[in-house]
Structure 1
Amino acid sequence: MLATDVPTREQLVRRAAELVPLLSENADAAERDRRLPEPVVEALAEAGIFKLRVPLRYGGYEADTRTLVDVSAELARGDGAAAWVASVYSIPTWMTCLFPDEVQDEVFGTPDVRICGTLSPTAHARPVDGGVVVNGKWGFVSGALHSHWQEIIAMTEGEDGRPMPVMALVPMADLHIVDDWHTSGLRGTGSVTTVAEEVFVPSARVMPLGAVLQQQSASRRNAEAEIYRPPLLPVASASSVGAAVGLARAAQEAFLGRLPERRITYTEYGAQREAPVTHLQVADAAARADEAAFHAYALAELVDTKAVRNSAWSIEERARTRAHLGAACRRAREAAQILAGASGGSSIYDSVPVQRVLRDIQAVNLHALMNPDTNDELYGRILCGQPPNTMYL
């Protein structure tokens, strides 16, 4: 692919914005069916959303993380579940680009390939001739129902006999799906459980997770590409934060969209928009949404700038990315909570979007990687001179 054929950030963001009406129209169906409707998946593919982190040589865009933030934020204005799935796909897609080139040839040979994944080592990989045999299961696998491959993490035995986590790529056809996604938020993501039973994975599709976390890649052809240089966790943080920013904006749009027709029951105000309390609530929520965007963009700028410069990452910088992620999620949740609380009793009906936005952003804040309290503690430990208490840094 020629550089001139790659859409600009502005073009990709505009494509995402053009999808907002379709996503909004299908959001209720996604919640009901606990998965993205096929027209939504097809539209995301047509817009090139699944190509953002794919190498140029396979027709991808090699987009930076600032682009991911902007695109996801636009998608979340229409449906948080669609934005979340698109964001999550970008992470294992990026991880696939660290595998040997022949593995990438196999995976990216599928047009608009979709790769779901996880960072949790909840399975076991038994070494055998030519690879490993995997048994176990993984929960919260967003987008699994629409995926071609899954990036998995499993525990195996290292050369020194100690447990060692490995990352591997498995075709979805080799896995079983457990339809257990009955949740209060992000229902449309279809984040089901997947199961491996005696699944053989050839050694070319297996990498030590420790090496990946230390920025070691097995790809020769991606060695000079800027976007594949940063560490995994900062990349994952920057890739997923845009959905939170967009949900805060969605809450504001949903509230302001209903405002002209609303009163404040049991008061003398003829219209809610005339009440000073409404002005205070809207201003407070807008400020918190802006703060969420500030942290998201600071996170993306840190990742992208260091990628371009190819400079080393300090432990403090790695922890700071997690802190920015948590802060963005917290502020977005606070913005949605303020506006949902100001939306009145009628907002509890399923037909009022703000209740879904609130449930979705609450679910985002509960994610292990995005949890504000966990991320603040990690950052604070580093600032206080303590060692990190996690390998996910």
Structure 2
Amino acid sequence: MGTTTTIPARAELLQRARDLAPVLRRNAEWQEENRRLHDETVEALTAAGILRMRRPHRYGGFESDLRTVVDVLSELGRADGSTAWTAGVWMISSWMAGLFPDEVQDEIFDAPDVRVSGILSPGAIAVPTDGGVILNGKWSFNTGALQSTWNTNAAVLDGPDGPQPVMVALPMADLKIVDDWHTAGLRGSGSVTTIAENLFVPQARVLPMVPILQEGRHASLANADAPIYRVPFMSAACVTVSAPALGLAQGAKEAFLERLPGRKITYTDYANQSEAPITHLQVADATVKIDEAGFHAYRAADLVDAHGEAGEPMTLEERARVRLDLGAVCQRAKEAVDLLNTASGGSSIYTNVPIQRIERDVQTVNLHAIMHPNTNLELYGRLVCGLGPNTLYL
């Protein structure tokens, strides 16, 4: 199923993302209340080609490098964290779909603008049977599932050689949805729970996970020479999810400065908050932290992209450093948002003021198991101190 696609330049994709800001800001409150992306938001992302960025070229995708992904997703995150997060998950899962055998990809990408969501935590058990496996289990935090056609989810294969983690490609129509996404942050991401009950999955849609996570080895022949498919999944995914955190911090600074003119500091002599030295220190300190977050996001992106272009494997230390960079992005982004939120005053708690939503979103990002700063920093420190990694997700 081939197609001819003109691949937009990085600058064009970035401008497309910037042009979406009014739509994303307009729909942000609706998305919070309804706990999923607005149809207009999804249509705008689709029309701009954002969801094609990590799709194989032969299915109309752009095969964008990770520096471009960080550019675009952070720009979306300036306007709305839930939109950036969901778009990032759709990018990761579309990329993951490109690791399956080519005939499976033909099935997944049969529609021109199919959306693929996915979960990396193995929440189900797969039992071998003739021609495939029988799958039972559930996946919580399944971002974008309500508006997706396919899922690429993790499971534990209970085979004769003992349990091993696998990835499975599943039509969303085969899964039961539990609408349980009642949360403090990233409310618009629609990250509901999905359940598989005695679901038969053909063998072609079952992949060993470890070679994909750590080595970039996969079952696709058609994608074998594409730079974006010559890197470990975990490293590529970590770079992708760092971008919404960076965008949230950038958006917090913009939101704070938009409300600053004419604001006073109540119960003080400062008729203009902008004249107070504490405000100058807060804005400058937040700016440094945002810049540091950007450094780590782009350093990781450039490292992974370079290995993809060269077709050279990443070392264990390099893969751990990507996790380190992800933790640093989340940590610095939250610190910046915390500073600006603290400086925003009591009126900022109203739901129509973006900074309160940004604060909740960045807190939620920092609590994500793969993004938690302490976990990522510890992992890198273990390796530097001569210990082995204590996780497969590297």
Quickly name the TM-score band, shorter chain normalised.
Answer: over 0.9
Give, in whole Å, the separation in 1 of the partners of 2:128 and 2:48.
Answer: 41
Superposed CA offset, 1:172-196 (max 9, x none): 0000110100100000000000000
Report matched runs for 1:217-296 at 5 Å.
217-296=218-297
Report matched runs for 1:1-393 at 5 Å.
1=3, 5-160=6-161, 162-213=162-213, 214-393=215-394
Structure 2's unaligned 5+ residue stretches are none
Residue 261 of structure 1 aligns to a residue whose secondary structure is coil
Superposed CA offset, 1:90-133 (max 9, x none): 11111111111111111111111111101111111111111111
CA RMSD of aligned residues (A): 0.9
Counterpart AA for 1:309: A
Superposed CA offset, 1:30-61 (max 9, x none): 00001001110111000111101111111110
Which runs of at least 4 in structure 1 moved beyond 3 Å after TM superposition?
none
Equivalent pairs counted in the alignment come to: 391
Give, in whole Å, the separation in 2 of the partners of 1:167 and 1:189.
Answer: 22
Give, in whole Å, the separation in 2 of the partners of 1:16 and 1:81.
Answer: 14
- Displacement, 1:158? 3.2
Structure 1's unaligned 5+ residue stretches are none
Question: Sequence identity, in percent?
Answer: 57
Counterpart AA for 1:121: P
Give, in whole Å, the separation in 1 of the partners of 2:276 and 2:311.
Answer: 53
Superposed CA offset, 1:116-154 (max 9, x none): 101111111111111111110000011011000001111
Residue 124 of structure 1 aligns to a residue whose secondary structure is strand
Superposed CA offset, 1:190-226 (max 9, x none): 0000000111111111111123223221111111100
Give, in whole Å, the separation in 2 of the partners of 1:195 and 1:104.
Answer: 23
Give, in whole Å, the separation in 2 of the partners of 1:315 and 1:208.
Answer: 19
TM-score under structure 2 normalisation? 0.98
- Displacement, 1:372? 0.3
Give, in whole Å, the separation in 1 of the partners of 2:205 and 2:111.
Answer: 17
Give, in whole Å, the separation in 2 of the partners of 1:384 and 1:197.
Answer: 44
Give, in whole Å, the separation in 1 of the partners of 2:246 and 2:284.
Answer: 16
Residue 241 of structure 1 aligns to a residue whose secondary structure is helix
Residue 90 of structure 2 aligns to a residue whose secondary structure is helix
Contact 2:53 2:64 in 1 (8 A): yes
Residue 392 of structure 2 aligns to a residue whose secondary structure is coil
- Displacement, 1:2? 5.1
Counterpart AA for 1:200: F
Give, in whole Å, the separation in 2 of the partners of 1:38 and 1:369.
Answer: 29
Give, in whole Å, the separation in 2 of the partners of 1:343 and 1:365.
Answer: 21
